[in-house]
Amino acid sequence: MKRIFLYISVLLLFGCTVEPVSFVVLETADMHGVIDGPMSGVAGYLRAQRKTYGNRMILLDCGDNLQGSPEVYFSNYVDTSNVHIYATLFNWLSYDALTVGNHDLEAGTQVYDRLYSQVKATVLCANAVDENTGKPRFTPYRVFRRMGYKIAVMGLLTPRATEWIPKRLRSGVELQPVEEAAARWIKVIYEKEKPDVVIGLLHAGGGVLTEDMVADDAVNTGSWIARNIPGFHLICCGHVHNAKTDSVINVQGDTVWIMEAGSRASHIARAEIIIDKKNEHGAKVHISPSLISSRSLRYDPVYEQITEPFMLRKDAYERIPVTELHEPLYSRESMQGPSRWVDLIHTLHLSMANTGSAAEVGASISFASPAARNLFLDKGLIYINDIISYYPYENTLSIVRLSGEEILKYLEYAYYLRLDRPNGPAYNFDSAAGIIYVVHRDRPYGQRVEILSMADGSPFFPDRDYHVAMNTFRARGGGDHLTRGVGLTLEELHKRILWESEKDIRSRLLEWKLTQGPYPGKPLNHWRYL
């Protein structure tokens, strides 16, 4: 009887080892400095999932954390003697791996090196190399061993990201073509590691699969890799702030799942992975992705306790007054015509471009846009927190050489985005200062903008070169105004940049307003619609 019982026990034990084994992969993406609000609910959900699944949960982040909120600005540049707030959170929540976002590099070497040296999670990016040695700047991939299975995670960063960021900020980080890096490292992973599951952690969009899709289109890179680079089972995407799940049939006929977790802690992307027992053909992988909205999640009181000391320090800093407004400012006015909101940025651009080290180059024209549609500053005292909300990006200023004809093409493209693509992001809706011009709403693209003169009344010449102040993201091709709109190649663009500021525009705005009296907020009125 004992032998029969032992025999049955062995069979049952053996049977348990060959049943499908479930894992859970959770992804956050593009949090852009969110610390309070929905992040509390996200933290509570992640902690509950870790308690349920333990070692069978893999927690990933898709990058772009170091820009976009007063909280992260404070941690990046002011509260530097303490552990970075995101290192505190990533370690407390036991993240397994992070990838690098373009806005993480944009924060500067001191900022991202500080964060990445403090986190326990592995920082992944297979296509970021040292420009001098060609060696990986971060870890290309990591293999997690779970219940006897190998799960490999490869990090990748959106194409062209380093073209948007000055060299002094990224400190020798160079991006290789994402498709070449993905193909090379997927081969290494399979030959060296023999994984059961391969996950891509890609700071680029999942996009919509089309026949003419190219790998270096950051909106669609995830779908391109899913279809054209066999070996991935799941690709976690970000960068474009979508919250969705999708699937692609790759060139070998296999299904590759894609999930994107949105932005600013709006969602968590979740994939349940079931691995069937191994046989002569390897393990069979089943993936079920889904999205969890943070609106459905309760605040976590323990999270509030963890972040409270940091928030108290941040709040004290942000209560420092900067200037005073005579009238309220609305960013939405920028969508309809000349506005005090954007004209404040224009005025700062031209001030920066014609003082200090920039004065030798100078600029007579400025291009600028609002950060978002529905921002608001009330009249009265303006504090540091208000300035950070008004200008949320860590962006430097550039002076670019453009001909009068190229300026006209630039504005035609900007107003094409404004009038023909009215639901596009507000940060692509550029206007100009330093020139007087009108925009004919009823005319087709290419015939709308009419430049009348320079702002001082002197003639504007299409065949003359001018120096134009704009943020460095735009100067390096962001938004495609200078590439698709003007027709310049990226190589030509880099030659046209005559000067770049050492400090970011927001820091200069803080310094500038602290030295002046109340801001009357009068619009420049350098353009109008007809």
pLDDT in tens, the chain (530 residues): 444 444 334 334 333 444 566 899 999 999 999 999 899 999 999 999 999 999 999 999 999 999 888 899 899 999 999 999 999 999 999 999 999 999 899 888 999 999 999 999 999 999 999 988 999 999 999 999 988 899 999 999 987 776 667 777 777 888 899 999 999 999 999 999 999 999 999 999 998 877 777 777 788 899 999 999 999 999 999 999 999 999 999 999 999 999 999 999 999 999 999 998 766 666 789 999 999 999 999 999 999 999 999 999 999 999 988 888 888 889 999 988 999 999 999 999 999 999 999 999 999 999 999 988 999 999 998 898 888 888 877 788 999 999 999 999 999 999 999 999 999 999 999 999 999 999 999 999 999 999 999 999 999 999 999 999 999 989 989 899 999 999 999 889 989 999 999 888 988 888 877 666 677 667 899 999 99
* Domain 320-529: which CATH number of 3.30.1220.10, 3.40.600.10, 3.90.780.10, 3.30.590.10: 3.90.780.10
Per-domain boundaries in the chain? 19-312, 320-529
What integer pLDDT is reported at residue 2 of this predicted model? 43
Closest CA to 383 of 513, 515, 508: 513
Residues in the chain: 530
Residue 283: how many CB atoms within 10 A of its CB? 17
| Cα separation, 124 vs 121, whole angstroms | 9
Q: How far is CA 76 from the centre of its chain?
A: 16
What is the rounded (10 degree) CA torsion for 344, 345, 348, 349?
A: -150
Q: Which CATH architecture has domain 19-312?
A: 4-Layer Sandwich (3.60)
Answer yes or no: are the C-beta atoms of 330 and 523 closer than 8 Å: no
Token pair belonging to 53: 């699944």
Distance, in Å, from the CA atom of 11 to the CA atom of 54, rounded to the nearest integer, reads: 27
From the number of C-beta atoms within 10 Å of its C-beta (0-12, 13-18, 19+), residue 228 rates as middle
Q: How far does CA 217 lie from the centroid of its chain?
A: 15
Contact (Cβ atoms closer than 8 angstroms) between residue 202 and residue 235: yes
Q: Which helix (H) or strand (E) holds 255?
A: strand 255-261
> How far is residue 204's CA from residue 62's CA, in Å, rounded to a whole number?
9
CA–CA separation, 241 and 260 (whole Å): 8
Q: Cα 203 to the chain's mean position, in Å?
A: 8
